[in-house]
Amino acid sequence: MHDGSGRIEVRQLSKNFGSVRAVANLSFTVAPGSVTGFLGPNGAGKTTTLRMILGLVTPSEGTATINGMPHDKLGNPARVVGSVLENEGFHPKRTARNHLKVYAAAIGVPDRRVEEVLAAVGLTEAGDRHAGGFSLGMRQRLALATALLGDPQVLVLDEPANGLDPEGIAWLRSFLRDFAKQGRTVLVSSHLLAEVEQTIDQVVIISHGQTMYYGQLADLRNAQRPRVLVLPSDHDALSTALREEQITEIEPADDGRLAVMNTSARLVGDIALRAGVAIYGLEERHADLENLFFQLTSGQYTAAPPQQLGVPPQHPQDKGNTGWGGQR
C-alpha cells in the first residue's frame, strides 16, 4: 500500500535515449500543501521527467515515486494522481460530458462526479458541446476536468496555461492554489514565467536535463541582491563618495556603468548630487523569476556554471534554504 502522504519523490533520476542523455541525475521533492513549479527551456527534459513520474517512461537510473510507490504500484492511480500532459485525447464528435462519463466509468467513479468537475473547471454550460469544436483553452479545461475525476491527492500538469486567455490564467492560478491549500500536491511545468511566479511556492529549474536550482521561490529571490546601475561623469569620484557613506560594494559593469549593491537609486542619486558628480543614467534592478531563470539556464546549450550566481550549494532535502542539486 502507498503511504498516503501525497508526496512526490524524485531521486537520482536519469534517462538516456540511445546516446542522448535527456535527464541527468535529477533529485527533488514535491510536498503536499504547496505548488511546485518545474521550469526549463524547451528540450530541457521536463516532459520526459513528468512521464517518468507517471510511469509512462522507464528511467535509465534512479526512482520516481508518488506516496512512496512507483506509479504502476498505486492500485487505482487515477484516485491518487491526476495528470495533464496533452489535451488532444478527445474524440471530436463526443461531447465534453460524454467524454468525462467514459473516463469516470473506466476508473470506477459515479456519473455525478462528471457534473462536479465540469463545474470546477467552468465548463458546465459547454458540457453538451462536441469537444472537436472547443478552443485550445477549453480543451485545456476539459483535460483538467478529466484529471480531477478521481478526486486525486496529486496533480501533475504539463504547460496547463497554454491556450488560456488572461481571465483563464487568473482562474487557473486561483484553482491550483486552492487545491494545494486542501493539503494536496501540485507539480506544474511551464515556460510562462511571469504567471508561474504568482502561483508557485517552490521551484525546480532544469537545463539540459540537469538541476540548476531547487528550493523555495522566496529564497531564490532573496539570494539575488538588489543593485543600482549608474553611469556617472566621474567613476572614481562617485565611488569615493559612496564609500564615504559606507556603501562599499561597488564594481564595474560590462557596459561601462558602475554596479552598486544593496542600495537604492534615490540614495545613489542623492550622494552623487552632494558630491557634484553628474549622472547620465540611473537604473535600479530587483531580482525577478524571469531574469533568474535566464541566468540559470543561459540559453541551455551555452549554460554558464550556476555558481556564478553566488548561491551556496545545498542538498536537495535541506528545507528553507536555497541551493543547487546536481549542478553542472
pLDDT in tens, 290-300: 777 787 887 55
Mark which of 205, 220, 235 sits at the end of a domain. 220
The answer as to whether 306 is a domain residue is: no
Q: Considering its fold, how many domains does the chain have in total? A: 2
48 shares its domain with 159: yes
* Crossing angle for the helix pair 265-275 and 235-244, to the nearest 10 degrees: 110
Alpha-carbon distance of 287 to 227, in angstroms, equals 9
pLDDT of residue 3: 66
Q: Quick count: other Cβ atoms within 10 Å of Cβ 27? A: 19
The answer as to whether 232 is a domain residue is: yes
Per-residue pLDDT at 208 exceeds 60: yes
Entry pTM = 0.76
The answer as to whether 240 is a domain residue is: yes
Task: Name the burial class of residue 204, with classes exposed (0-12), middle (13-18) and buried (19+) by CB atoms within 10 angstroms of its CB.
Answer: buried
212 shares its domain with 248: no
209 shares its domain with 160: yes
pLDDT digits (tens, 9 = 90+) for 243-271: 999 999 999 988 899 999 889 999 999 99
Decide: helix, strand or coil at residue 210: strand
Q: Which of left, alpha, beta for 289 (phi over 0: left; psi -120 to 50: alpha)?
A: alpha
The pLDDT mean for the chain works out to 86
More confident residue, 136 or 147: 147
Question: Lowest-confidence range among 64-73, 210-219, 270-279?
Answer: 210-219
250 shares its domain with 186: no
pLDDT of residue 193: 67
The answer as to whether 107 is a domain residue is: no
The answer as to whether 203 is a domain residue is: yes
Alpha-carbon distance of 171 to 141, in angstroms, equals 11
Per-residue pLDDT at 325 exceeds 50: no
25 shares its domain with 72: yes
Range of 63's domain?
8-80+152-220
pLDDT digits (tens, 9 = 90+) for 184-206: 999 999 876 666 888 899 999 99
Decide: helix, strand or coil at residue 17: strand
- Say if CB 99 and CB 131 are below 8 A apart: yes
Task: Name the burial class of residue 301, with classes exposed (0-12), middle (13-18) and buried (19+) by CB atoms within 10 angstroms of its CB.
Answer: exposed
- CA 154 to chain CA centroid, Å, is 16
241 shares its domain with 192: no
CA angle 140/141/147 to nearest 5° reads 90
Q: How many CA atoms lie within 13 A of 315 on its CB side?
A: 3
pLDDT digits (tens, 9 = 90+) for 50-79: 999 999 999 999 999 999 999 999 988 999
The answer as to whether 94 is a domain residue is: no
Cell numbers representing residue 72 in the block: 504502476
